[in-house]
Structure 1
Amino acid sequence: MLPLRVRIELRPPVLAAGVAAMLADESALRVVDDAADVLILDAAGLSEWLAVPVAEAEAGLVVLDDGAPWISELLERALGWSWLKWDAARGELLAAVQAAGAGLVSLPAAQARAVWQGAEEPELPLPGESVALTPREQEVLALLGLGLSNKRIARNLGVSDHTVKFHVTALYSKLNVSSRTAAVTRALQLGLLSV
């Protein structure tokens, strides 16, 4: 298996050098200056990345910052992403890069609790319960499971972005979730998707 190509875009350069040193001895990763599978950004770099058209944003992301204000945008746009504090240990950084490269979303437990603090636990269908999906909803769900954006799903299915949004909203309602990640997770739990 080829090593994940990782590009580090942190300011100031001394921080970039420190992160590069943390990744230097890992054979499953290769730090590059050009096309990458995973980008490591700070909040300023993420703000610039969010301005890039979705079609050009093909890499996973690892964001190093003390806050997590852009989670909804990342859920919608990024293939896989991780959010870590600046003082993350080497093992956390390696796990975050691997997760983002695999198209997964990861947060340290304390940050995940902070993100969901105060959120009510929705009533979810139990495993084994049937959720009736239309054939088109099943297609959209399968493409969501691949981490595709609404625009890419629309292109693959030959429909408009608006139609995809309609189907995604219907999926959220039927699965009783409010995000793409939750929809895919719930679909896996219910056996509507397989890994």
Structure 2
Amino acid sequence: MSPVRVAVVAVSPQARASLQALVEAAPALDFAGSAADTAGIADRFAGDVPDVVVIELEPQAGDLPVPEAGRDSAAPALVLLTDEADSEWIHEALGASATALLPRGATPSEIICAIEAVAAGLCVLSPEILARLLAARRAPRQTASAALTETLTPRELEVLAMLAEGLGNKEIARQLDISDNTVKFHLPAIFGKLGASSRTEAVLQGMRHGLIMV
């Protein structure tokens, strides 16, 4: 297999030199050049783009730039080194077909592994960035769960839990010491509040929103 051609983008000359040395020391990689910004790389490789571009993004005010080249199917894969990516920016960056997001303090072996991974068409997230992304996705779910917990009454939550156990109306009525008709009254209320049309769907929605412990 031919070596992976890698270009480097970093504002700091020291950072560019360090990344260049890292690439040149890896037998499977071929250093293709460097620039201080993505525009410089685009101009330099207009006719022969590298396989991967490693971009160090320094802390700065405002939004972090996501290279437009990352959205072009013919563009190189990206390894982005940044410490300030919020969850929204991460989603934008992952719009590229193959992207790695690592902290600026990533080890040489982590950067090399990320380069090889994106060259193979994979996406890579550091544990810290992955945790940040998952936390951002978990927050709306927790908010929705709180709203549903307020909406369902304690009795409805008990009935929902018994639906999850596979109990029928008569067994639910016996365990809760209520009538069958009362159980039948609770079911449509539970379905309506969960946006469900069946017992199974109600249970699935309850599990999704954390109303049922499994």
TM normalised by structure 1 equals 0.54
Q: Is the 8 A contact 2:54 2:80 kept in 1?
A: yes
Give the secondary structure class of the aligned counterpart of 1:22: helix
Q: CA deviation at 1:40?
A: 0.8
Instruction: Describe the superposition over 1:51-105 as per-residue Cα deviations: whole angstroms up to 9, x where unpaired.
Output: x5843761100011102232222222x1211111111111101111111111111
Q: Secondary structure at the match of 1:119?
A: helix
Which letter does structure 2 place at the counterpart of 1:14?
Q
Q: Which amino acid aligns with 2:54?
A: I
Deviation sequence 1:134-175 (CA, Å, 0-9, x none)? xxxxxxxxxxxxxxxxxxxxxxxxxxxxxxxxxxxxxxxxxx
The AA in structure 2 aligned to 1:58 is: A
Larger CA deviation: 101-110 vs 89-98 = 101-110
List per-residue Cα deviations over 1:4-28 (Å, max 9, x = no partner). 1000011111101011112222111
Greater relative CO, 1 or 2 (CA 8 Å, sep 6+): 1
Aligned 8 A contact 1:82 1:106 in 2: yes
Structure 1 residue aligned with 2:2 = 2
AA matched with 1:11: V
Q: Pairwise CA RMSD of aligned residues? A: 2.5
Closer/same/farther in 2, CA of residues 74 and 32 from structure 1, 3 Å limit: same
Instruction: Extract unaligned runs of 5+ from structure 1.
Output: 123-195
1:31 equivalent in structure 2:
31
Runs of 4+ in 1 over 6 A off after TM superposition: none
Partner of 2:93: 74
How is 1:75-154 mapped onto 2 (pairs within 5 angstroms)?
75-76=94-95, 78-120=96-138
Structure 2: runs of 5 or more not aligned: 34-44, 59-63, 142-214
Residue 58 of structure 1 pairs with residue 75 of structure 2: yes
Change (3 A) 1:43 1:57: farther
Whole-Å separation in 1 of the counterparts to 2:92 and 2:137 = 18
* C-alpha deviation, 1:107, in angstroms: 1.1
CA distance 1:58–1:118, shift in 2 (3 Å):
closer
Q: 1:48 to 1:83 in 2, by over 3 A?
A: closer
The letter for the 1-side match of 2:109 is G
SS at match of 1:62: strand
